[in-house]
Structure 1
Amino acid sequence: MEKTYKVDGMTCNGCAKSVERAITTAATTAIVKVNLEKKQITVTGIDDDVLIAQAVEAAGFDYEGPVLS
């Protein structure tokens, strides 16, 4: 399962690493790819929007929900 989410507030590679770390700490099976330009993350290996939202918010960023394709 792969899902893309909108995350506001990411501006640099440090931000991307913080979001990646927060999600992979909360869900060790998750694989996270960050697209800073689009302000999106793509998560593979977990299908739990609530967990993703909580991890993103805990890292200090604004979770804006799934990106509809």
Structure 2
Amino acid sequence: MPFSHRMRQWHRFLSLAFTLAVIANIVAMMIPGSPQWIGFLALIPLLPLLATGIYLFLLPYRRRGSIARET
């Protein structure tokens, strides 16, 4: 399995985790007296999601550059 395929799967998993963390944050904000640190739960998957997203965004440009060098 190529590295880019594994990176796409990891990015999908992180997006699911981020979505669940945001939903948990919204539910926690509705409950009075809930701890404030729950709002930071969404940041845990967000940082690696940003890194994998940048990689996947730049991947076609990297491939295009390697094809241009071969010809």
User: Would you tell me which structure has more strand in proportion to its own residues?
Assistant: 1
Larger radius of gyration: 2
Larger relative contact order (C-alpha < 8 A, sep ≥ 6)? Answer: 1
User: Would you tell me which structure has more helix in proportion to its own residues?
Assistant: 2
TM-score normalised to the size of structure 1?
0.30
TM-score normalised to the size of structure 2?
0.29
